[in-house]
């Protein structure tokens, strides 16, 4: 296998490597964002758009919030990776 040149596009990498380029940084940032969110917001007092309380366990609220943050950040990172290499889509 030839070494990759510094100017080579990320799209030339194997799928597993590209997936890790997207998923690992977004995983770390989702964790940071969740810590910042729940340092300010009490998950037990969350309500459905001002109506009744959510009624989930705290671990369910933490998990769902984390996966929402992770998916949004991963989507943003993946779009950046796709836009970084024009003409190879």
pLDDT value at residue 27: 96
Q: Where are the domains of the chain?
A: 14-83
Give φ, ψ of 76 to 5 degrees: -60, -45
Cα separation, 43 vs 60, in Å, equals 10
For the chain, first and last CA: distance in Å?
24
Q: What is the pLDDT of residues 4-23, one digit of tens each?
A: 554 455 567 788 988 999 99
pTM of the predicted model over 0.85? no
Report the SS3 class of residue 13: coil
**Alpha-helix residue ranges (DSSP H) falling in 6-57:** 15-40
* 64 and 46 Cβ atoms separated by less than 8 Å: no
pLDDT band at 28 (very low <50, low <70, confident <90, very high): very high
């Amino acid at each position: 296998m030839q070494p990759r040149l510094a100017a080579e596009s990320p799209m030339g990498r194997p799928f597993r490597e590209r997936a890790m380029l997207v998923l690992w940084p977004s995983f770390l940032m989702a964790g940071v964002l969740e810590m910042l969110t729940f340092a300010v917001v009490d998950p037990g007092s969350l309500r459905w758009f001002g109506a009744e309380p959510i009624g989930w366990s705290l671990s369910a609220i933490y998990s769902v919030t984390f996966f929402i943050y992770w998916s949004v950040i991963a989507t943003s990172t993946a779009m950046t990776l796709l836009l970084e290499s024009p003409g190879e889509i």
